[in-house]
Chains A and B, each alone.
Chain A
Amino acid sequence: DQQVKQNSPSLSVQEGRISILNCDYTNSMFDYFLWYKKYPAEGPTFLISISSIKDKNEDGRFTVFLNKSAKHLSLHIVPSQPGDSAVYFCAASAHGNQFYFGTGTSLTVIP
């Protein structure tokens, strides 16, 4: 049973606009969350993380929001750039145990 879900397989956004990628989880014990970005034929690369003690973490154009009551995580990219076109995975872990990954959302930023 998938504990981390990314219900949108794909998303297209115009360059300069905001991209919002969503992630839902079922395990209330998850306390640490990551976003990874993956280009074709490459391994995932770490993008941004958030601990459950926070509800927001920002790094440049990337902001992750955590809504614990809704068990929902989102990644905002502002402004979106063509180089952001990639597959984005969210991942979650509970108390230092293994990470569970979502199925990924393919983002296309249209110039």
Chain B
Amino acid sequence: NAGVTQTPKFQVLKTGQSMTLQCAQDMNHNSMYWYRQDPGMGLRLIYYSASEGTTDKGEVPNGYNVSRLNKREFSLRLESAAPSQTSVYFCASSAVAGGPRDTQYFGPGTRLTVL
């Protein structure tokens, strides 16, 4: 079991470039999440998908789009990257969104720098 995998591990973009961060889980989880972690800010939820076919905005969705491709995969797209999007991005999954069963398992993260 690989758990939650993320690609790439590191990425450097120029302002205005686009890219997609990939995430996959092999735990047959229903729910998947994208977070960003910034110094002094903790982890903040960007988007989540409670189940296949649904996506919802989190705390900081502006500048991002997501696609729940299938039950295993959840991608995060930056259409026009900005320096404010320099961050470490974590994908997570859980059996069920919300409540006591929402123990989230995290991937290793993608460190993104936007110049």
Contact = CB atoms under 8 A, between A and B. Distances in A.
A103 B42 contact: yes
Interface residues of A, number: 27
A75 interface: no
Interface stretch (A11-19, A37-45, A65-73, A78-86): A37-45
A7 B97 CA distance: 28
Category for how many chain B residues contact A: 20 to 34
Given A42-B108, A46-B105, A98 B100 contact: no
Given A42-B108, A45-B106, A46-B105, A103 B99 contact: no
Given A32-B102, A101-B43, 14 more contacts: A2-B42, A42-B108, A43-B106, A46-B104, A49-B103, A91-B43, A95-B98, A96-B98, A97-B98, A98-B48, A99-B102, A99-B104, A100-B59, A101-B35
